Structure 1
Amino acid sequence: MNATLPDDWSPADNPYAIAVSEANWLRATVVLTVERMHSDDVQVGWFSSRQIDARTLVVALRQLLAAVKLERIALNDLGMPPAVVTALDEAEQRFLEALPDIKHVRDGLTHFEDWARGIGFGPQAAARKRATPRDVARYFWSFGYDPATDNVTMGPFTISVNEAVPAANTLCAAIYAAAHAVDQRNTAELRIHVVQALDDAAIACTAPQGPVLVSQGNDMRVWLSINLSTVPTGELGDLAQRVTSVLASTGLRLAPPTFPQAEDITDRLVAGEVLRVERHNQ
């Protein structure tokens, strides 16, 4: 990854990747927080470190669902196959089955200004049909972590801390898998673009006969090189120049994986180096 971002970069360009990044941060937060909750308790002023961490855990778990939401929106906007979206939906459902009360516990924490008065939405709104706001507030209050049961509770709602890490890991893996499917499709489309551009310029790129080799790597990148054994030495420079010119005319460029300033791109092609194909806006 480049150390600096281009001036026109925006997270809105690739929200599916932002979902992966945020999900990994949240998963790591869950893992770290659970480890601390299962370790020795520490007094922080008047407060227990376990109780503080319990609040962090709840928010991190709930925010994983926000990452799923962003990933799903991105998948739909990109027109990904229904099977990719369905797999993500199923992973989200398994997460909710492991932590069925996560939404209500998080809502009680983050909307305490309403829940403390019994005027919250959701379960509090339903309870107000048969009880006063004061009684509703009392019933849905009392957040805390019980080390004996390893549960976090908010009124009648419960989260199993023991389920938190496996659930977060599984959901995070599903978000990554969905994004990986996008990367696979993008890479395949880029390779088709490269091959078509070269074919249109009468530059053969079908292995093993073609003078140019275009391949899709396991790293989700497209790589290009000249098949030195098929091109006379005196023609290598001209071929390399034609390749770079053709790609540039279709919005593509070649980038070396190492020492980008060491040599000219055409020289590196002539030397037989395998170069990465990128779009100009990357």
Structure 2
Amino acid sequence: MSDTEPTWSPADNPYAIAVSESQWWLRCALLTSQRMRDDDDPRSSGFSSRQIDARQLVVALWQLLMAEKLQQAALRALGIDRAVYAELSRARQRFEKALPGIKHMRDALMHFDEWARGVGNGPQKKDVEAGKALRDVASAYWGFDYAPEKDTITLGPYVIEVEAAIRAATALADDIYQAARAVDQRRTVELRAQVVDALAAAGVSCGSAGDVLKVSLGLDTRIWLSLDVMAAEQDHRPLSEQVVAALAVASLQLLSSAEPQSSNPAKRLLTGEALYVTPVNAQK
């Protein structure tokens, strides 16, 4: 093992991991649902590939709920506005309403060793406590099946309509992404304030209409700096170098979207190119 400290960890930005995982599991759900509508794949060696994919679809749908759970934890830890994660909670409720029994279907698949004997948690446990025989309880929550003619997945009393499930999954993944934007937007506001303070400390003005240096908020939530090289007939080289130096003092740097590896931001500013600000140690 290396003694070097890791430079990155998913724990640094769990809100972004929630978005990434939700997109992966959504794509898994989309792919499996499409394969389920095709003819059985002969490579499945005597087993129905449709039934195999249907099982995977249930797991993928459940994993979207895990991504939502991670997003909720991340938003609360960051102190994001309560309204953001309250809306995400409503999105989860809409998803669960569209997929009644998704948790129990997933549990039955993942814990088949218990559900096959009638000793699973949730509904099986309640039925046993109500006095029902284990073998009857096991039978009531068994029989996983995808019906191509109906485009539905069933397990015991639970039914999922595949098309409705895909719509719900797409909506939840989008809601997880939208919740993450609240984090990006807050960090953008904080970064802009840091940039303005660093420039002000170096005597660089950027807040007035006539200032040569422009600080802008992009649609990509990045902070962009540019020089209005046509604003005045003067040499802007000292200003561009002053800007780069002032940001460096605050552990900030300017990067080019066209050439991220460029090592001469002052020169690029002089050409009129807009450059975006990142912390010096940030991933590019």
In the superposition, the TM-score normalised over structure 1's length comes to 0.92
2: CA distance, partners of 1:120 / 1:193: 54
Q: Residues 87-127 of structure 1: CA distance to partner in whole angstroms, max 9, x if unpaired? A: 11111110001001100000000000111111111111111
Matched, 1:189 2:201: no
Other-structure match for 1:239? 239
Choose 246-255 or 53-62, whichever is displaced more: 246-255
Other-structure match for 2:153? 152
Secondary structure of the equivalent of 2:136? helix
Secondary structure of the equivalent of 1:228? coil
Other-structure match for 2:10? 11
Q: Residues 237-257 of structure 1: CA distance to partner in whole angstroms, max 9, x if unpaired? A: 221222111111112111111
Q: Residues 9-61 of structure 1: CA distance to partner in whole angstroms, max 9, x if unpaired? A: 11111111111111111111111111111222334222111111110100000
Secondary structure of the equivalent of 1:17? helix
Gaps of 5+ in 1: 1-5
Kindly indicate whether the alpha-carbon contact (under 8 Å) linking 2:256 and 2:262 is maintained by their aligned counterparts in 1: no
2: CA distance, partners of 1:231 / 1:269: 15
Secondary structure of the equivalent of 2:38? coil
1: CA distance, partners of 2:154 / 2:274: 57
Other-structure match for 1:180? 181
In the superposition, the TM-score normalised over structure 2's length comes to 0.92
With over 3 angstroms needed to count, the CA separation of the structure-2 counterparts of 1:33 and 1:188, relative to structure 1, is: same
Kindly indicate whether the alpha-carbon contact (under 8 Å) linking 1:105 and 1:158 is maintained by their aligned counterparts in 2: no
2: CA distance, partners of 1:152 / 1:64: 18
Query: Structure 2 matches for 1:202-213, cutoff 5 A?
Result: 202-213=203-214
2: CA distance, partners of 1:151 / 1:258: 48
1: CA distance, partners of 2:259 / 2:159: 54
Q: Residues 146-187 of structure 1: CA distance to partner in whole angstroms, max 9, x if unpaired? A: 223322111122211121110111101101110112112211
With over 3 angstroms needed to count, the CA separation of the structure-2 counterparts of 1:156 and 1:211, relative to structure 1, is: same
Matched, 1:21 2:20: yes
Other-structure match for 1:3? none
2: CA distance, partners of 1:87 / 1:142: 36
Choose 200-209 or 241-250, whichever is displaced more: 200-209
RMSD: 1.7
Other-structure match for 1:275? 275
Aligned residues: percent identity?
47
- State how many pairs are aligned: 276
2: CA distance, partners of 1:264 / 1:94: 50
How far is the alpha carbon of 1:230 from its aligned partner? 4.1
With over 3 angstroms needed to count, the CA separation of the structure-2 counterparts of 1:262 and 1:8, relative to structure 1, is: closer
Secondary structure of the equivalent of 2:210? coil
Secondary structure of the equivalent of 1:47? coil
2: CA distance, partners of 1:196 / 1:257: 24
Other-structure match for 1:136? 137
2: CA distance, partners of 1:127 / 1:262: 66
Q: Residues 219-244 of structure 1: CA distance to partner in whole angstroms, max 9, x if unpaired? A: 1111011222345534x222122211
